[in-house]
């Protein structure tokens, strides 16, 4: 059975994450919320510590805290602090509390590195199920709200005039982000989730004329990065998650240079 091969499971996990983050990553780029992804991911460490302490699933714990974090940010925005200050306070304090909480778990040995940088080669069949289930959920959620989200991203008043509540759309995005973070932790780890959100979307920009094509191209670039990155990690014996991000970054660089050459030529 092909799922017996750990490389095959890792590849499927990588592609699953790449597909889920592509449309979401586009919105993160368009709405300039790159740091929001970072903050949600950092908060997830606290969720992991709590879920180990309470012996519940890591996925559920990470998602619950990521969600809580996202809702808190939603609630606190526009109340005196700038968004980046607020995210900085919440993200780093959640990370610190998480690391402190982990140190209390004396009875259990946990490999923190595995959660910071991901451990895609250790993906089990069950993990694969969670990843693809989560990815399908995120893609369905974003696909369902796509036009409304796009309108709210362009301009809030334009959304209101079309009968769309931009705050509700923001909530949908936040929810999708929390699910994605929880799903992707195993694959790329907390520190690199934001990279997988942003780099393929940014790389897709010069190739796209419509928002839809940008999301599709981003999904393609993310998948290619996962394939090549895993292969490279296997050949050069490098850590898998970071290798995937490196390949995505190289694709971004190549497409950006090609894009600017084309612009200056025309």
- Interaction between residue 260 and other proteins (CB under 8 A): no
Closest listed residue to residue 13, CA positions, set 121, 109, 87? 121
- Is 258 a residue that touches other proteins (CB under 8 A)? no
Task: Pick the closer one to other proteins by CB: 65 or 159.
Answer: 159
**Which residues are within 8 A (CB) of 93 and not within 5 positions of it... i.e. 6 or more apart?**
none
Residue 30 sits in the site that holds other proteins (CB under 8 A): yes
User: Considering Cα of 133, then 126, then 220, then 21, what sign does the dihedral take?
Assistant: positive
Nearer to other proteins, 98 or 166 (CB): 166
Q: Which stretch binds other proteins (CB under 8 A): 124-132, 175-183, 201-209, 253-261?
A: 201-209
CB of 137 to other proteins, least distance (A): 22
In the window 202-221, what residues touch other proteins (CB under 8 A)? 202, 205, 208-211, 213-214
Work out whether the CA dihedral 60, 34, 92, 90 comes out positive or negative.
Answer: negative
Options 18, 22, 29, 192; binder of other proteins; rule CB under 8 A: 29
Should residue 161 be labelled a site residue for other proteins when binding is judged by CB under 8 A?
A: yes
Residue 150 touches other proteins, criterion: CB under 8 A: yes
What is the distance between the terminal CA atoms of the chain, rounded to a whole angstrom?
A: 52
CA pair distance 222, 200, nearest whole angstrom: 5
Q: Which of 40, 151, 170, 180 binds other proteins (CB under 8 A)?
A: 151
The owner of tokens 């559920």 is 60
Residue 228, Cβ density class (10 Å: 0-12 exposed, 13-18 middle, ≥19 buried): middle
Binding site for other proteins (CB under 8 A): 29-32, 147-148, 150-151, 153-164, 202, 205, 208-211, 213-214
């Amino acid at each position: 059975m092909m799922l017996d091969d750990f490389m095959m499971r890792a590849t499927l996990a990588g592609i699953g994450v790449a597909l889920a983050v592509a449309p979401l990553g586009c919105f993160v780029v368009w709405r300039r919320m790159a740091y929001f992804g970072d903050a949600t991911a950092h908060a997830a460490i606290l969720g992991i510590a709590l879920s180990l302490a309470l012996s519940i699933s890591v996925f559920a714990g990470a998602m619950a805290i990521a969600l809580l974090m996202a809702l808190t940010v939603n609630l606190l925005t526009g109340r005196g602090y700038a968004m980046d200050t607020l995210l900085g306070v919440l993200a780093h304090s959640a990370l610190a509390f998480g690391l402190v909480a982990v140190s209390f778990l004396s009875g259990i040995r946990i490999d923190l590195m595995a959660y910071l940088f991901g451990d895609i080669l250790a993906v089990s069949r069950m993990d694969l199920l969670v990843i693809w289930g989560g990815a399908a959920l995120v893609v369905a959620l974003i696909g369902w709200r796509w036009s409304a989200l796009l309108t709210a991203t362009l301009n809030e008043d334009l959304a209101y005039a079309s009968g769309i509540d931009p705050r509700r759309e923001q909530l949908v995005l936040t929810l999708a982000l929390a699910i994605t973070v929880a799903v992707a932790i195993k694959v790329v780890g907390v520190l690199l989730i934001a990279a997988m959100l942003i780099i393929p979307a940014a790389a897709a920009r010069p190739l796209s004329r419509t928002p839809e094509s940008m999301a599709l191209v981003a999904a393609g670039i993310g998948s290619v990065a996962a394939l090549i990155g895993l292969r490279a990690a296997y050949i050069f014996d490098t850590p898998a998650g970071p290798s995937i991000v490196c390949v995505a970054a190289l694709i971004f660089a190549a497409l950006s240079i090609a894009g600017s050459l084309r612009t200056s030529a025309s």
